Amino acid sequence: MAKSGLDRVRKTLSPVLYFLIFVVIWQLIVIIFNIKEFVLPSPITVFRHLFDSEIAVKYHWWRHIGATLMEVIVSFALTAVLGISIAILITWSKLFNQLISPIIILFNSLPKIALAPLFLIWFGYGFIPNIMVAFLVAFFPVVINTVAGLNDVDEDLLDLVRYLNASKKDIFLKIRIPNSLPYIFAGLKISATMCVVGSIVGEFIAAEKGLGYLLRDAQAFIDTPTMFACLLLLSAIGITLFNTIGLLEKVSMPWNTNEVQK
C-alpha cells in the first residue's frame, strides 16, 4: 500500500520534474548563447508576461483564455455528442450507413482547415465559425473509432444473446456500446487535441479575441514573448482536456484499471 502511494507520487511528480528540467535548460541556452528576445525569449521573460501584474494586465489574458476555452469546450462537446450518435446510427441501420457514409468519407478527404475562410463568409466573425472549424477537424476520429468499437464484438458473444431472442436495442445497450467504450475514449482523446487546433485556426482567420488571435496579433509586432506565453497556455488547455478525459475513462471503466493495476 505504501509502495503504491509512493508510485503515485512519483507518477504525478515526474511530468512536473521534466517540465522544470526543460525550463532550466531553456533558460541556460538563452543565457549562454545570448539569444535575442525576439528570436527566443527566456522562460523568465515568458512567465513575467503571464504573471507579472504590471506587464500581464495589458494583455487581458483571461479574456483570451476564456474565449479559446469556450470554443474548445463547446466544439468538443458537439464533437462527442454528434460523433458518438452518428456512429451508433451508422451501425444500427444499414440504410443510414449507405446514405451517410459516402458523405462522411467525402468530407473527411477534404482538407477541413481550408474551409475556414468559407465559414467566415457563411457564419461571420468569431465564435460560430471557430467552433465549426474545430468540430469539422475533430469529428471524424470519434465517428471512426466508435464505429470500430461497436463492430468489434465477438460473433459468438452475439450468438450467446441471440439464442435468447435479444432485441437489437438490448444488443446495443448491453453489448455493443459498453464494448466500444475504450474505442470511444481513444477517439475522444484524439479529437480533444484537434478541437484546440481547430479553434486556433479559426481565430487566426477571423476573431477579435482568443489565444489564436493574440498569437497572430503579437506576431505582427514581433512580440515573441507574448507568442510563447500563448503557446504555453494553449498546451495547458490541451493537456488539461486530455487528462480530464483520461480521468473520465478510468472512472467509467473500473474493470480496465483493475487490469492495469495487476
Partner 1 sequence: MGSVSFDVYPGEFVSIVGPSGCGKTTLLKIIAGLLPESEGDIIFDNEMFDPSREVGFVFQKALLLNWRKVLDNVLLPIEILKLDKKKYVQKAIDLLELVGLKGFENSYPNELSGGMQQRVSLARALIHDPKLILMDEPFGALDAITREKMNLELQRIWADSKKTILFITHEINEAVFLSDRVVVLSARPSRMVGAMDIEFERPRTLEVRTSPKFGEHAAEVYKMLEIT
Contact 100, 90 (CB under 8 A): yes
Residue with the three cell numbers 444488443: 171
Residue 181 binds partner 1, judged by CB under 8 A? yes
Residue 238 binds partner 1, judged by CB under 8 A? no
Nearer to partner 1 among residue 142 and residue 175 (C-beta) = 175
Nearer to partner 1 among residue 43 and residue 182 (C-beta) = 182
Residue 10 binds partner 1, judged by CB under 8 A? no
Taking the complex as a whole, how short is the minimal distance between the CB of residue 160 and partner 1, in angstroms?
5
Stretch 17-56: interaction string toward partner 1, x if CB under 8 A: ----------------------------------------
Which one, of 187, 177, 178, 182, lies nearest residue 242 by Cα?
187
Residue 211's CB is within 10 A of a number of other CB atoms, namely 28
Site for partner 1 (CB under 8 A): how many residues?
24
Query: Which amino acid is it at 207?
Result: A
Residue 253 binds partner 1, judged by CB under 8 A? yes
Residue 159 binds partner 1, judged by CB under 8 A? yes
- Compute CA 104 distance to the chain's CA centroid, rounded to the nearest angstrom: 20
Of these, 37, 52, 152, 170, which contacts partner 1 (CB under 8 A)?
170
Taking the complex as a whole, how short is the minimal distance between the CB of residue 111 and partner 1, in angstroms?
38
DSSP string over 118-177: HHHHHH-SSHHHHHHHHHHHHHHHHHHHHHHHHH---HHHHHHHHTTT--HHHIIIIIIH
